[in-house]
């Protein structure tokens, strides 16, 4: 009986902790209407914008490590599917919309892809 209670408490703690992390992580990003509602980090600084997309300075990103896990979760939570990767460039699709997410050290490019 004590083992069952112990496992139940452990599992409950993990589930609650995971849910809290998920909601905190997802809340750090906001959908950009100009980019097909693709999530953008709230603490990223917009440095350039044109008809294809936006460029940001963001300290939480690097070319070697890619985007943080929380950003991956936010992208997935917003219905985007991860596609092919070409170096620092990763393609995401949602319906007929496609985004090219390019991560380099402390810099993020989010570009619309026209087929």
Q: How far apart are the first and last CA of the chain?
A: 60
Q: CA of 39: how far to CAs of 44, 72, 101, in Å? A: 11, 10, 11
Domain ranges in the chain are 2-112
Is residue 23 pLDDT above 80, yes or no? no
Determine the pLDDT at residue 84. Answer: 93
Determine the pLDDT at residue 27. Answer: 73
For a pLDDT cut of 70, what percent of the chain falls above it? 90
Dist CA 51 CA 62 (whole Å): 25
Mean pLDDT of 5-25: 72
Q: Convert the pLDDT of each residue in 44-88 to its tens digit.
A: 999 999 999 999 999 988 888 889 988 998 999 899 999 999 888
């Amino acid at each position: 009986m004590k083992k069952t209670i112990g496992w139940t408490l452990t599992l409950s703690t993990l589930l609650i902790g995971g849910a809290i992390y998920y909601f905190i992580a997802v809340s750090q990003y906001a959908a950009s209407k100009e980019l097909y509602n693709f999530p953008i980090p709230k603490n990223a600084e917009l440095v350039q914008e044109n008809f294809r997309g936006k460029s940001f300075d963001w300290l939480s990103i690097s070319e070697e490590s890619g985007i943080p896990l929380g950003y991956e979760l936010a992208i997935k939570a917003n219905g985007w599917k991860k596609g092919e990767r070409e170096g620092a460039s990763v393609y995401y699709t949602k319906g007929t919309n496609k985004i090219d997410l390019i991560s380099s050290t402390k810099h993020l490019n989010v570009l619309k892809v026209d087929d």
